[in-house]
Amino acid sequence: MATKSSDTKKTTSKTAKSATTKKTSTAKTTKKVTEKNQPVAVKVEGKKKILFVASESTPFIATGGLAEVIGSLSKALAATGNYDVRVIIPLYSDIKREYREKFNYIGNFYVHLAWRNQYCGIFSYEQDGVIFYFIDNEFYFKRPGCYGYYDDGERFAFFSRSVLEVMPFINFYPDVMHCHDWQAALAAIYLKTNYCFRPEYQFIRALFTIHNIEYQGQYSLDLLCDLFDIYGSYQHLVEYNSAINLMKGAIECCERFSTVSPRYAEEIKDAYYAHGLDRIVRNNAFKLRGILNGIDVDGYNCATDSHLYANFTPDDFSNKALCKKGLQRLLGLPQKPDTPIISMVSRLVSHKGLDLVTNIIEELLQDDVQVVILGTGDAHFEGFFRNLANRYPEKLSANIVFNSDLSRKIYSGSDIFLMPSKSEPCGLSQMIACRYGTVPIVRETGGLYDSIKPLENGYTFTNYNAHDMLYVIREAVSAYKNKEEWAKLMYRAATTDFSWGHSAKEYEALYLDMLK
């Protein structure tokens, strides 16, 4: 994972050159920051300062729900007027040019990490009252995508170290540094170890949010010093089961840690859900909180969404029939207005409950229903649904792609949305489905349990059992035939408050509790 010093010198030199078109020394660059770009670093009097540290954020780069949380929560907190909110993420090459061209170059410096001395460029951009910072290093981040590289540990160690080093550079020391998932775990660990003796860092509180406990940042112990720059008396913080576990280290170091739903906060105390970290979670349960995520209710709005075949509102669902007809036509399904469409928009992996679906789907297809699948994932599930679509072309449409436009059309044109996850830290799809008047059926786990209530805004089942799920699906299909009652259920689903406003208030309370 480590790079040779000669390679590092070449890389940092190349990166520094590409970061700015002007040939200026680091000293001159720093002077430029002080004189020209000082407003970026001005402290806002009377406001609490929050710094989000994450590996992705909308609208710049997104691979999943984490990015939506960062983009939406920071915006919601800034809108309260009580916080000076900043976000810091890596400057990936996949960030679209339309944004990159608007970024403001602040300056650069070098980050020391173990034996490395790596270039770090800083760019900024303000949107919706939030200042976003981007850490530039072409050696680490000029690659397709965000994750999945052999040196991810080194990449995000550099990123986390850069977060601490950038604070004096931009003159912004947050009251709360809010770190997300294992890629940002080292920022919290460094804050409470390598930087804890520096006066300006001593009053920064750290909050660590677990979006999915399955991914913990685990590495061999022999990389501790050379790769992560952690030594001696601090080893015990990150050591777990004879290996490095960065998530464990962040849990130990932070004043508080949280999950993205209250139910999931309880579940990860159990070995069934915790992927080996249950003992650490239980030991630190006194500082654990669960806060349900929200969604961008402006972006997911059936009245204004331009992706839909026709817009509608919770007060008038009549145009939803046009969305259904358009979806059936697009996917080559018979246009039957009274046949319910059951849809899934999901990664095709086992923990999403796909084994339950494959167990009973042929039995379900004997009923008067149509099934629509959208997503990619394990080859086994992709092949299964493709084969099934060939055998039942008038009953099932399998779309093994990632297509955000089609997902909106499916959400709006379906009648029932199926989400039978084995585990689900929060889940966004069930909330999005509700926004389009599509009634969700979910298993009672994690955020699904917290967001969907039986007959209030959807259907639920408890046991991880295929025929328990089938029973509830058929119950919903039967209820669908009663148009008057079904319309009432659609209305309750579509008007459920999944906005970030409620979640932001809970985070506000947590921040203030940390700052007591």
> What whole-number distance in Å separates Cα of residue 478 and Cα of residue 516?
53
List the chain residues with pLDDT less than 70. Answer: 1-45
Cβ contacts of 198 within 8 Å, gap of 6 or more: none
Cβ contacts of 215 within 8 Å, gap of 6 or more: 181, 182, 247
**What distance lies between CA 225 and its chain's CA centroid?**
30
> What whole-number distance in Å separates Cα of residue 211 and Cα of residue 292?
11
> What whole-number distance in Å separates Cα of residue 441 and Cα of residue 235?
45
At which residue do the structure tokens 């949305």 appear?
417
Reduce the secondary structure of 30-85 to three states and give it as a string. Answer: HHHHHHHCHHHHCCCCCCEEEEEECCCECCCECCCHHHHHHHHHHHHHHHCCCEEE
At which residue do the structure tokens 């990490």 appear?
113
> What whole-number distance in Å separates Cα of residue 105 and Cα of residue 103?
6
State whether residue 141 is helix, strand or coil.
helix
pLDDT in tens, 264-299: 999 999 999 999 999 999 999 999 999 999 998 999
CB count in 10 Å sphere of residue 392: 16
Name the residue type at position 47: K
Closest by Cα among 87, 89, 124, 134 to 103:
124
pLDDT value, residue 64? 82
pLDDT value, residue 5? 38
E strand spans, 304-390: 341-345, 370-374
The Cα-based distances of 89 to 51, 160, 170, 180, 293 in angstroms read: 11, 10, 15, 11, 20
Provide the edge-to-edge strand list for the sheet that holds 370-374. 396-399, 370-374, 341-345, 416-419, 439-443, 459-461
Q: How far apart are the first and last CA of the chain?
A: 41
Closest by Cα among 349, 343, 342, 503 to 424:
349
> What whole-number distance in Å separates Cα of residue 273 and Cα of residue 434?
26
Closest by Cα among 296, 294, 336, 305 to 411:
305
Length of the chain: 516
Cβ contact 496:458 at 8 Å: no
The Cα-based distances of 123 to 8, 12, 120, 144, 256 in angstroms read: 21, 16, 10, 20, 29
pLDDT value, residue 516? 85
Name the residue type at position 451: S
> What whole-number distance in Å separates Cα of residue 485 and Cα of residue 345?
26
pLDDT value, residue 18? 41
**What distance lies between CA 170 and its chain's CA centroid?**
26
Cβ contact 68:58 at 8 Å: yes
E strand spans, 155-306: 176-180, 205-210, 218-219, 239-240, 243-245, 256-259, 288-290
pLDDT in tens, 163-172: 999 999 999 9
Cβ contact 479:455 at 8 Å: no
> What whole-number distance in Å separates Cα of residue 185 and Cα of residue 122?
21
Does the N-terminal peptide bond of residue 144 adopt cis geometry, omega within 30 degrees of 0? no
